[in-house]
Structure 1
């Protein structure tokens, strides 16, 4: 049986399989993990935890891009 859930990424609903980790979702969305900060349910996630973080239905993720400049 396949189980799906809905996350909210930057406020937008995103349906995914419940076996997808944060890194799986970022890869799927072509988001460069080296230049983003991820906030999960109002808590910043360390990059080393991206592959071990799994979600519950209606969890919220904010993807914050780091932009360099001069």
Structure 2
């Protein structure tokens, strides 16, 4: 039986059936990783850790993108 993991990204609920990292989420949702701040379970997460942190059940991820303009 496959384990289903529920996580929240920017307040929206998602379900996955395999192990993914924060970096996988960023790539999947097509975020520009040089222009964002990532909060993982209420803590700002350093970019160097994104590939090492696997999503677990009930994790909360908030991604804020930086937009330039004038």
Q: Return the TM-score normalized by structure 2.
A: 0.87
CA positional deviation for 1:18 = 4.2
Deviating 4+ runs (over 3 angstroms) = none
Gaps of 5+ in 1: none
Q: Which one has the bigger helix percentage? A: 1
**RMSD (Å), alpha carbons:** 1.4
> Secondary structure, in 3 states, of the residue corresponding to 2:34?
helix
Gaps of 5+ in 2: none
Q: Which one has the bigger strand percentage? A: 1
Q: Return the TM-score normalized by structure 1.
A: 0.87
